[in-house]
Amino acid sequence: MVAQEQSVSTAGVGEGGESGVAAVVVLAAGQGTRMRSATPKVLHSFGGRSMLGHVLAATAPLDAGSTVVVVGSGRAAVEEHLTQVAPDALPVVQDQQRGSGHAAAVALAAIPDVQGPVLLVNGDAPLLRVETVTALVDAHRAAGNVLTVLTAEVQDPTGLGRIVRDAGGAVRAIVEERDATAEQRAVHEINAGVYIGDAAALRRALAGLGQDNDQGEQYLTDVLARLVAEGAPVGGVPAAEADDVLGCNDQRELAARRRTLNDRVLDDLMRAGVTVVDPMTTWVDVTASVAADAVLQPGTQILGSTSVGPGATVGPDTTLVDTTVDAGASVVRSHCLGAEIGPDASVGPFSYLRPGTRLSRGSKVGAFVETKNAEVGEDSKVPHLSYVGDATIGRGANIGAATVFVNYDGVAKHRTTIGDHVRIGSDSMLVAPVTVGDGAYTAAGSVITTDVPPGAMAIARARQRNVAGWVGRRRSGTPAAEAAAAAQSSAAAAGEGRSEASGTDTEQ
């Protein structure tokens, strides 16, 4: 299941927007066998987006004329995902995974009329940032290159392709580690797998690629070598942060990328004035927003399209999904999904707010309360141990403990309306559809099945009747019977004592 995501517009104009990029090609056809998962690799998600979604978000500001996503393994799932997150993108099928060069050729064949700069990027580079992509495009244009590759300086380049430069610093080749000399393996500048190149030059170079390697595949790295051999201007631009270019090939790397992205998000929030008490246990999606002066306590997750207002406190141990928390509100040890929590409202501990819940200013949903499709009016309270479903509660009302809004008759849902300043007694059952008028009361333990007029007291319970001696007769020999007998004996003895004391007083 893919996490909630915001749609990314990939629609461009003409030959590209201000960036001048004619097309973006995302290579997302790989099987990702090392993930050991039925989910296609690029659909593994964290931080509010899939890996593919993160890449598309990084390239969307280029306003390219076309965005092509090469799909293959898990094609149906990836295409369906694209309709949700990037409906303007064009999926192109690579039936046989024959390498990155072959994937790029398939993509360019699908947009034969595109001319000018084309950005090629892997779909499993979720930490790629807009700033990094923009810097690559700008450097490419400024240098007048035919092809420019994004590079990175890393501490441990093991297993990665090395960037080989000449004495003047010009890029001459990309050499895979298995083919590198000892001198080349000592190089720490690696190929990031992101390229921008002229569409015509790319088509020409891709058409001439061979498959003379152990895997029998065509590689984009060989495009650079062919263009260098032609004498075409080729360049390399280092990323400002090496983390930007990290790929993701297995579950361990997925966890590491998740941590890196979250650290970035929290760092930005703290710089903007948000208090994050424990960054190690706090998780915030890139699709969420948190205002300055908000406080995120330990164990907090802010997910999806959640927004947290200024001065609000969330946590500890709280998860918010697609939820709005307005200024000054407090949510403690609770789970909220698709809820709206108004200014200065309070939630928790141990509350469950389900979709359609709307809490007005100053309202309260307390311990062990579940709500669904419910409106709670200004300054109204549902303090504890209750279920409020399909309901409208007015201003200043109080819902007693263990109240249940009985909204489902087994076939359809029905609504309960509670007026202003109503007092619902503890352990009440409100059987919908029913209305309790303004200022009315219900007695504790009542089952309310008909409307209660404004200002009335509704009592819907049987009169209590005590059957004396029942336990002794029907449960003889039990601890309860023994306790009752002892209490009765004690009471009788106390009565005799009072009588004797009374007689003594009379004699005196």
- Active-site positions read 384
Q: How far apart are CA 418 and CA 371, in angstroms?
A: 15
Angle (nearest 5°) at CA 146 between 10 and 238: 75
Give the distance from CA 393 to its chain's centroid: 30
Angle (nearest 5°) at CA 402 between 398 and 405: 75
Asked whether the CA dihedral 483, 487, 488, 490 is positive or negative, the reply is: positive
335-337/189-198 β-pairing: unpaired
Asked whether the CA dihedral 260, 261, 262, 267 is positive or negative, the reply is: positive
Phi, psi (5° rounding) for residue 380? -85, 160
**Could you identify the residue written with the tokens 């190149």?**
197
Q: How far apart are CA 333 and CA 62, in angstroms?
A: 41
Instruction: Annotate 313-348 with b (16+ C-beta within 10 A) or e (fewer).
Output: bbbbbbbbbbbbbbbbbbbbbbbbbbbbbbbbbbbb
Q: How far apart are CA 37 and CA 147, in angstroms?
A: 35
Residues 6+ apart with CB under 8 A from 315: 277, 282, 296, 297, 298, 299, 300, 331, 332, 333
Length of the chain, please?
A: 508
User: 382: which 2 tokens?
Assistant: 């549902």
